[in-house]
Structure 1
Amino acid sequence: MTKKKTILTVIWTIIALIAIAAVISLIVFPRWKGLFLAGSGAFLILNLFLSLFFISKNFKE
């Protein structure tokens, strides 16, 4: 159980860091570059959510 909780905590932390970086890129970079980086971050967050779902569902105790 502790391995599962540790893995899920690390993935949630990575998702939070990517979300913060995406919002900062929208503010700091010029129009299209910031939009591209934020969109790439959103796509990465979506993939991490999918992996989070499958890891929590299929993790062996």
Structure 2
Amino acid sequence: MNTIHGVTELEKYWDAFQEWRKRERLRTRLCRLSEKELRDIGITRGEIDYVASNRAIDPRGVRSAE
């Protein structure tokens, strides 16, 4: 394995780890909201995992600018 390939692979894993952490932070924040707060933003408690895993997709069918 050459250095450039190794750095690229390391960056790929680091980026994936950072994305996972972002999803987990979002999931945690959403889980802390009350039912009323979730309704206000248009999602149900059952949609939290979906929303956290698919941040670019709005469960209401609206595409985000991300």
Q: Does 1:46 align with 2:53?
A: yes
Rg bigger for which structure?
2
> Which sections of structure 1, spanning at least 5 residues, go unmatched?
49-61
Select the structure with the greater relative contact order (CA < 8 A; seq sep ≥ 6): 1
The TM-score, its normalising length taken from structure 2, stands at: 0.48
The TM-score, its normalising length taken from structure 1, stands at: 0.51
Identify the structure with the greater helix proportion: 1
4+ runs of 1 displaced by more than 4 Å?
Answer: 40-43
The one of 36, 39, 47 equivalent to 1:35 is: 39
Cα RMSD (Å) of the superposition?
3.3
Q: Identity of aligned pairs, percent?
A: 7
